[in-house]
A and B are shown apart, each in its own frame.
Chain A
């Protein structure tokens, strides 16, 4: 074996023996560094005769080139191994919990409210609002409840303490119907705040969602609940329009192609004719199914706005007519979402809110549906 071949064998062995990039670097320096063995040979070529150089030159240069490539390969392999080792050392247990973040939710009543508003918005209904603390005129008298009429008793009204000077007793509105009056009644009085409905000229197409209050508390009644009122006033709106509007609404709200509904005569002081709307359902087995069965479930009250109400709100009943309706939002939410009890809706139990609440992204939209 020549010296050169021996040198190559030694260097190759040293290269493979180097198990870190640092050790490999030492091998490289020993071979190809300024005073490395191969460098020395290369430098020595100048002293060789031309003939010897012709023979030795390619041998030495070949050795250098092979070493360079082998060193690079070895270096890459060592680097890869070192990276693997480092990464292995960096292993993190990802089954550990992430920093806690609370899960937010939208209350089902408010979800239902948003859905109802969206459905009626598509039918061109704007949203009108009125105050929770009402006067007798807006809550009763203008709505054709004569003073001392027994129908007022049926409302289980909450009263505020009488005003010490005027003796006036404000009420907590027993329904959202006072917003009908506020929407129709054009007066010179300012509404008190910009958000409160002020009188507008017909045609009118509004819904009025909000809190309502009755002094009633049992399994199916809470002293506060939510209603959505609807009001449509024009020259020739009749009960057929009422029927279509509510049938369309109910089908959309329950996300069914159609809902089998019936309109049943009823009595409300502020509508004439008056009706309640029932939907067909089956309650056998403790589970509510819509559109099947022999039972009917009342879901809302409605009717043609009473001429006395139009007059009280300053509209001529011979010129204008229309319909109104009112529905309980909490109850509709219970029906749609399968919520068994009313009272927990106002208790803010975080377990209940998490279970019956809605995610932020379940905002009603035309494209994605209601919820």
Chain B
């Protein structure tokens, strides 16, 4: 919403500067976005008079003018055909920046004659109007008058109107709040009351009171429409509106002055003598919706929940009520009889109409937010008075059909609530003064106050709203700063074990060399399908882009795409992780947090020839992460051959507590999945389901169990087993470890061998078994007995000692 200080001063007696007004507005909740000062760019320019004009000695089209300027007599070369002695125009001195040309004037000869300045056209000053030569101004203007004064330009305040305050969409409403805030005195204008000389010949029939509960109108006949006077044109132009003709300009003025939209119909173009207010219609025979060409020249098909104004016995749509009038009945310079509409349209219906038809207007914006329910007649009277003044004519009586919505209900208010909710200690008289200044009626005997909000404050429903009014107008700067009651520092931290775990995981992975990424919660539906999701329940109705139309079932595709983007930029090697949500359905419990990691292994070649092993490097990090998060990895089952389809079937595994509790999947990404994402492999990854991680047991004490350090040296024995090639090494080591859980503290594979000496279809697994004696040093016989148990346990898996 834009307005000027001079416009505000029609409603507010104030000596404040525009800067002070802007600051006060911001601190009262009318957040000023910008103070635009068009006078700034016109500062160097002023009125000048051409004393004489003679042909340039060397150029036919140029004249050398002697000009009386604010800087004295100047010789100026001018190419405009209308430059002549006696012409009053605008002068730009050397050094002035001419906005319309985008140049700064320098003193230089024009065909041998030095021009000491410039005489300006409207276009050169970026002013409206035809640019046929230099400006031809009123000859009464004094030389030296600043150009800004000549054109009535002044600074404009642009501020954000919060949706609860449609009354700020009129300058009078802004003035009321500024008066309450002590920025001046509100000037109240008596609403004119113009008696009609005859009954309005236009009958109004309200068929859709739910869309338009009240409609006031009157005819003015025998008027002369034409351009409106300068003051009105200037006022509209000052806030960026285009003057059209007096009748239309009056409605725009009242719209911005009183936040009261009106509409004018050219009576001569109306068919019949009846206006019908109804919902949009569909032809009963063809099923075609009716169509209307609005003032913006576009055709609209209003639906049944949209308000249509119709004539011709209700058959011809001539306007979208509260939104935009129709082209067929618009007023122009030939209009002599005008029917003025001042109605109240339902905010929700108006908002929906605008949204569904993609149409906005000053009227639609105001009605959608809620116009003063009781301003229909007042707005009509104001318009009548102005039209009679500007265009003459004879007004009819006012027709009012329907009843406005009920005014806001009165409610009890205890002024002590101001302090209770804000901590502000204010005298009750101050509270009363603020509310009264804002138009609230306050009645009280001895008990609580009874407050009635004004009809333009449909946002006020109860005591808390009044507290806001009082605190806002009094100033939030006066709020105390009160420490929160000390509840005592939380003794055990505030995070849940799960939240702590997530927080820790981030630091662990970063420490292990993984870079944390944050990617969209969305992906493309076919990608979601490739990663186990993509159900219709998770598809967005209005995605931001077609490749972000579905909630992600996994973080991996986003990380894979990120890796591909990095590769395209020349940075192929990376290890990314993200801790974030995935969505298995649209219910709250379907959202799960995962810790996902992705490696694109493109490490630089090494001088020592060692290449490392990316897959087992990833497994190592994954297991360190899980262990550090308090998950005992030795208790997890590692299952191969059952991972989801986006994993490499032979190079991926599931970590599970049981078949139903899958904690993580990891391994190489399936080349097919990479192809879906246009990514070049290989890539490796993991995804941990945080919700499936076993809860660490709550303990009563943080004290650790007793440490039992053996004084006896551990010893180790190596075994080489020949097993079926398909046997998982983990199965063998688990079996070996299980052969004596007391004595065996660790089993590690240190060699895997196939080839000479090992039969086809088999492999040799060499394991080192660490034995920790518990009570006494083991005798050779005891060690032999243990070895026998180990071999026997391995034999159950078909393993035999390698000869």
Contact = CB atoms under 8 A, between A and B. Distances in A.
A and B form one complex: yes
Interface of A: 96-97, 99-107, 109-110, 114, 117, 121-127, 129-133, 148-151, 153-154, 158-164, 169-170, 172, 191-196, 203, 205, 211, 213, 215-217, 223-224, 232, 234, 236-241, 243-245, 247, 262-267, 272-276, 304, 306-307, 317, 321, 345-351, 353-354, 357-361, 363
B477 interface: yes
Contacts of B603: 100
B127 interface: no
A148 B352 contact: yes
8 contacts: A99-B608, A102-B514, A125-B494, A193-B592, A243-B479, A263-B477, A272-B464, A348-B562
A236 B604 CA distance: 63
Q: Which 10 A-B pairs have the closest CB atoms?
A: A192-B589, A240-B423, A265-B29, A240-B482, A273-B468, A267-B162, A348-B562, A360-B511, A192-B588, A348-B517
A211 B589 contact: no
Interface of B: 26-29, 31, 162-165, 347-348, 351-352, 355, 368-369, 419-424, 462-465, 467-468, 471-472, 476-477, 479-485, 487-490, 493-496, 498-499, 503, 506-522, 536-545, 548, 551, 559, 562, 565-566, 569, 571, 573-576, 579-581, 583, 586-593, 603-604, 606-608, 610, 612, 691
Contacts of A125: 494
A244 B481 contact: yes
Contacts of A107: 516-518
Nearest to A100: B603
Contacts of A264: 26-27, 29, 31, 476
Contacts of A97: 604, 606-607
A127 B591 contact: no
Contact of A353 (B468, B484, B516, B583): B516
Given A99-B610, A124-B484, 12 more contacts: A104-B575, A105-B510, A126-B495, A133-B590, A150-B369, A191-B589, A205-B487, A238-B420, A273-B467, A307-B464, A346-B519, A349-B566
Nearest to B459: A267
B606 A160 contact: no
Contacts of B503: 114, 117
Contacts of A307: 462-464
Contacts of A100: 603-604, 606
B513 A121 contact: no
A354 B368 CA distance: 49
A265 B348 contact: no
Nearest to A222: B520
Contact of B421 (A193, A213, A232, A273): A273
Contacts of A203: 487
Given A267-B29, A273-B471, A99 B588 contact: no
Contacts of B590: 133, 192
A104 B29 CA distance: 46
Contacts of A353: 515-517, 576
A243 B477 CA distance: 10
Given A150-B368, A169-B541, A348-B519, A359 B510 contact: yes
B515 A354 contact: yes
B572 to A, nearest CB: 10
A196 B691 CA distance: 11
A362 to B, nearest CB: 9
Contacts, number: 291
Given A99-B606, A275-B476, A160 B540 contact: yes
Contact of A360 (B29, B351, B467, B507): B507
Contacts of B515: 102-105, 350, 353-354, 357
A104 B510 contact: yes
B571 A193 contact: no
Contact of A350 (B463, B496, B574): B574
B591 A133 contact: yes
A233 B766 CA distance: 64
A173 to B, nearest CB: 11
Given A104-B513, A163-B537, A239 B479 contact: yes
A161 B536 CA distance: 7
A224 B519 CA distance: 9
A114 B184 CA distance: 48
Contacts of A123: 484
Contacts of B164: 267
Contacts of A161: 536-537, 539-541
Contacts of B162: 266-267
Contacts of A191: 588-589
Given A153-B351, A264-B31, A273-B421, A160 B538 contact: yes
A261 B477 CA distance: 10
B545 to A, nearest CB: 8
B565 A347 contact: yes
B548 A215 contact: no
Given A193-B591, A264-B27, A264-B29, A109 B518 contact: yes
A92 to B, nearest CB: 11
Interface-central residue, B503, B575, B580, by most chain A CB under 10 Å: B503
B494 A121 contact: yes
Contact of A132 (B516, B573, B581, B589): B581
A187 to B, nearest CB: 13
B538 A363 contact: no
Contacts of B480: 240, 243
Contacts of A195: 496, 498, 593, 691
B544 A217 contact: yes
A251 B560 CA distance: 39
B471 A239 contact: yes
B488 A127 contact: no
Nearest to A129: B499
A347 B494 contact: no
B484 A241 contact: yes
A268 B671 CA distance: 50
Given A240-B422, A273-B422, A354-B515, A106 B506 contact: yes
B486 to A, nearest CB: 8
B163 A193 contact: no
A133 B586 contact: yes
Contacts of B490: 121, 124, 126
Contacts of A241: 423, 482-484
B180 to A, nearest CB: 12
A18 B581 CA distance: 77
A346 B521 contact: no
A238 B541 contact: no
Nearest to B490: A124
B355 A153 contact: yes
B588 A321 contact: no
Contacts of B548: 223
A223 B29 contact: no
Contacts of B508: 360
A224 B520 contact: yes
A91 B504 CA distance: 42
Interface-central residue, A100, A101, A195, by most chain B CB under 10 Å: A195
Contacts of A263: 476-477, 479
Contacts of B519: 346, 348
B417 to A, nearest CB: 10
Contact of B588 (A131, A148, A304): A131
A99 B604 CA distance: 9
Contact of B510 (A106, A205, A273, A274): A106
B521 A350 contact: no
Nearest to B511: A360
B112 to A, nearest CB: 45
A196 B250 CA distance: 57
A243 B482 contact: yes
B476 A265 contact: yes
Contact of A347 (B487, B495, B537, B562): B562
Interface-central residue, B165, B468, B587, by most chain A CB under 10 Å: B468
Contacts of A349: 565-566, 569, 571
Interface-central residue, B421, B472, B581, B587, by most chain A CB under 10 Å: B421
B420 A96 contact: no
